Amino acid sequence: MPELPEVETVARRLQERLPGARIAGAEVFWARTISYPQPPERFVREVTGGEVARVGRRAKSVVVHLADGRVLTVALRMTGALIVAGPGAAADPHARVVFSLADGRELRFRDPRKFGRVGLYPGRGRRRVAEPFARHGPEPLAPSFSAARLAARLRRRSARLKTLLLDQSFIAGVGNIYADEALWRARLHPLRRADTLTEDEIRRLHRAVRAALREGLAGGGASYRDYVDPDGEPGLAAERMRVYRRTGEPCFRCGRRIERIVVGARATHFCPRCQPAPPEPGAAR
DNA sequence: ACGCCTACCTGCTTGC
DNA sequence: TGCAAGCAGGTAGGCG
């Protein structure tokens, strides 16, 4: 699933080739992909004529900043991909939204499972449209995301660590894969309650989240199967995962077999020795 | 605030 | 070999 490192990688690749491009038209093949504005015809009308200024990322969304200040947001969700196709490229049966660029290229949003969302929002300032990232938490890789800041947020919460890491209003950009990887790095059990962490454990978690995301980023965001970059190239395989989907395989740190449990309906992988169970009720093994 | 559930979706894997 | 069931999970929204 595209999480922060994958989305950031996509955004950087697009930043290399999209700025200056003018959107000559758009076609929507799956109406529900458009989150705003509605109906899709209005989205098409309003996006047409836009010029790409730069491409960035917020949370797990690619954010295309247009020259007039509006932003085109693309939430890749599970299987979404943004592809830059040259003139004459074969049609893609999974394309949900296709932007034709004035230079003859196409920017395609392909998304087999149709979970992804594309929106066009006014820039800051005027208008009272809900800002698309109003409820999102801090960016974990931002310099301002300090251990102290994380500590302050954790102390207020009693939820389980795994649940919190997946909560986009708590921290933006972490998904199921990097949540498990970060908890393994921090040697923290996924069911630990946030407000029970010691200062040292908080520091470990802070470091671990950032290290896991940075390593994913360094690998070109290659953590999942459906990933393709804007050239349509698949990422590297996910060999660097320490626990994710390694159920029954030995822990890289201690050799103990990795276990899989379900937390909040999400598959969760951890090492029962390195990540000791919380001494709370129901925390058997 | 939290946990739990359902819905949204389709492709891949698993099991018989 | 073929086919059906189940799994995968990001996020919104509803309920207790």
- Are the C-beta atoms of A22 and A101 separated by less than 8 Å? yes
Whether the per-residue pLDDT at A10 is higher than 90: the answer is yes
**A170: which nucleotide lies closest, measuring CA to C1'?**
B1
The one-character DSSP state at A257 is B
Q: What is the pLDDT of residue A50?
A: 98
Which residue in A12, A58, A187, A266 is the catalytic one?
Answer: A266
Strands across the sheet containing A117-121:
A34-36, A117-121, A71-75, A61-66, A52-58
Whether the per-residue pLDDT at A21 is higher than 80: the answer is yes
Q: CA A51 → C1' C4, Å? A: 48
Q: CA A216 → C1' B16, Å? A: 39
- Are the C-beta atoms of A43 and A29 separated by less than 8 Å? no
- Are the C-beta atoms of A234 and A217 separated by less than 8 Å? no
Please write the tens of the pLDDT for every residue from A205-227. Answer: 999 999 999 998 988 876 555 55
User: What are the structure tokens assigned to A241, written together?
Assistant: 């995962």
User: What are the structure tokens assigned to A27, written together?
Assistant: 């076609």
Q: What is the pLDDT of residue A11?
A: 95
Please write the tens of the pLDDT for every residue from A44-102. Answer: 999 999 999 999 999 999 999 999 999 999 999 889 999 999 998 999 999 999 999 99
Please write the tens of the pLDDT for every residue from A224-250. Answer: 555 556 665 555 545 578 998 888 889
Biggest CA-to-CA distance, chain A: 63
Q: What is the pLDDT of residue A237?
A: 42
- CA neighbours within 13 Å on the CB side: how many for A207? 11
